[in-house]
Amino acid sequence: MSSDEVRARVRVVSPRTSAARTRTMSIASEIDEQTRLGEVYIVSLMRSQLRLAIGVLAVLAVTLGGLPLLFHLVPQIGRVELFGVPLPWLLLSVFAFTEIIGLGWLYVRQAEKNEDDFSDLLEGR
């Protein structure tokens, strides 16, 4: 080959070389690297758990907190007896404990559902 036949190499470049490159990171790596987006996801999970806790506490406060008000406004309830036990005692024992256990069960079930939804989001399902 002669020198005339040898051509200089030509470099082909995209006109978008200065464009921002997109990073494909999983949500889990965003959280692990403590990026701003990962922080948004974690704060979102914490807010949903907090909202659930406040809701359960509000129900408990209204129902159990309302019993003394009910006893004050309707004093005849103190004279009612069921199975030989005054109704206020039954309300403060059987009803209160049943409600606390039920709300506790509901809270755990919903909190686990929130966490499952979050882990599904992390796995991309």
pLDDT digits (tens, 9 = 90+) for 7-31: 778 777 777 665 555 555 556 666 6
What residue type is 119 in one-letter code? S
E-only strand ranges, the chain: 81-82, 85-86
| pLDDT for the residue 22 | 57
What residue type is 17 in one-letter code? T
Q: Dump pLDDT digits (tens) for 29-69.
A: 666 666 777 788 788 889 999 999 999 999 999 999 888 88
Position of tokens 């709300």?
A: 103
Question: Residue 122: pLDDT band by 50, 70, 90 thresholds?
Answer: confident
The DSSP secondary-structure symbol of 19 reads S
CB of 53 within 8 A of CB of 107?
A: yes
pLDDT at 124 over 90: no
Helices and strands of the chain, counted as H and E runs: 4, 2
**Residue 98: which of 74, 65, 69, 63 has the closest Cα?**
63
Averaged confidence pLDDT in the chain: 82
Cα 63 from Cα 24, distance rounded (Å): 49
